[in-house]
Chain A
Amino acid sequence: MKNLLKKIFLIDLLQGLRVTFRTQHPKNIVTEQYPQQRPMVAERYRGAPRLNINPENGQTLCIACDLCSLACPENLIVVGWERNPETKRKDLVTFTYDTSRCMFCGLCEDACPVDALELTQDFELASYSREGAIFDRQTLEEGIRPTKYRF
């Protein structure tokens, strides 16, 4: 009987509509207007890769140990180095990072013994060509420059 009355007076539908209207209150709006409103990504976010530079002398921190390229499941890191005849140490020459195949799993970051390679908070990785997704040493050191749009 109670159920029948509920049915006749559309109680179940009104109950649902109450929820809908309650959520329309401006203070309940959660949508972000992305390009105008920049989202705050977390500190540990795994985004665009970066090769860190020693801030004191501007030299790269990378010691060309190749551990990142060995750790990478997709084999997308290629480290080019040459032996410095004076210091007998490896000097980094090229560093290529193919973000088109990258899973952003963070294993290269974990493998790096000197914290030179790091996945940063930059997330705007779209590019107009496949070549644009392949980062060379310069891009990695300077960071990505996504196209800026004005509104």
Chain B
Amino acid sequence: MPDDPKPEGANTPESAPQPEPAAPQSPSAEPAAPVAPATAAAPPAASAGGAPPAPAVPPKPPAAAKPAGAAAAARPAAPKAPAVMAATPWESELTADLAAEFGDRISAFQSYLGQNFLVCQPGAAIPILESLRDNHGFEYLVDVTAVHYPDKPEPFELIHIVYSFERNERIRLKTRLKDGEKAASAVPVYITADWLEREVYDMFGIEFEGHPNMKRILLPDEWETFPLRKENSILKMDQRWVQENLGIESGQ
């Protein structure tokens, strides 16, 4: 039975301790810039004023990052500088239109690696999607997904990716959600969201209000945990379900 010592000896050092210390590190450091516009409603002026200076620093790392491959000297600088995402503001006709329409319900227009995204207030996502579809030609909802940042006051980030065939442009919409807070469903706007939102619910436990069929999609209906939440380690699974239905001790 040389099989037994391996999973234990091998999996624990690799899966359990490594990601956990890594995860708190960055979120604790992160609220500094990219989240500030999203979460902090109190200092909106500060974040709006703070956004331009922040990119003033970051443009260096991306610029340095390219030659970093060749110049070894530049490489140590690259990991140090961006403890936060070095996003730059995004301005175009579209952002002007959206800003005029939604005002402060959109807290930031940003761009990272040439990919544009906007951060909006919780209730604003669906109206924005509707406006994007009807007025700006974003007919195709590419994806709905979420990211879990357990250490933040609003731990979930809901992401809608939309694409416009006419403009050949893809943008992302980000919404911050509190734990247990319900999000509005995008199904009335895009039918695609049906399964995608069910998957988000399945993996993160974010419920969508107004969804026609809010239940699990990939996991069994009786499953109890939400696997992609960071507190659930890769080894942890629904023991009860596994024992009842599969008759084995655990999944491994």
Contact = CB atoms under 8 A, between A and B. Distances in A.
- Touching in the complex, A and B, CB below 8 A? yes
A65 interface: no
A60 interface: no
A75 B10 CA distance: 6
B247 interface: no
B233 to A, nearest CB: 15
Contact of A75 (B1, B2, B14): B14
Contacts of A134: 2-3
B3 A78 contact: no
A76 interface: yes
Interface in A15-38: none
B250 to A, nearest CB: 16
B5 interface: yes
B9 interface: yes
Contacts of B9: 78
Interface in A52-78: 69, 75-76, 78
Contacts of B6: 75-76, 78, 96, 98
Nearest to A73: B14
A136 B14 CA distance: 23
Contacts of A78: 2, 5-6, 9-10
Nearest to A96: B2
A98 B3 contact: yes
A40 B2 CA distance: 33
Contacts of B25: none
A15 to B, nearest CB: 39
Contacts of A131: 1, 3
A150 interface: no
A130 interface: yes
A66 to B, nearest CB: 12
Contacts of A98: 2-3, 6
A76 B7 CA distance: 8
Interface string B1-29: 11101110111001000000000000000
B3 A130 contact: yes
Nearest to B13: A75
B1 to A, nearest CB: 8
A110 to B, nearest CB: 18
A136 B2 contact: yes
A78 B6 CA distance: 7
B128 to A, nearest CB: 40
A76 B2 contact: no
Contacts of B5: 78
A96 to B, nearest CB: 5
Contacts of B3: 98, 100, 130-131, 134
B11 to A, nearest CB: 6
Interface in A95-134: 96, 98, 100, 130-131, 134
A76 B11 CA distance: 10
B122 to A, nearest CB: 38
15 contacts: A75-B6, A75-B11, A75-B14, A76-B6, A78-B2, A78-B5, A78-B6, A96-B2, A96-B6, A98-B3, A100-B3, A131-B1, A131-B3, A134-B2, A134-B3
Interface of A: 69, 75-76, 78, 96, 98, 100, 130-131, 134, 136
Given A69-B10, A75-B11, A98-B6, 13 more contacts: A75-B6, A76-B10, A78-B2, A78-B5, A78-B6, A78-B9, A78-B10, A96-B2, A96-B6, A100-B3, A130-B3, A134-B2, A136-B2
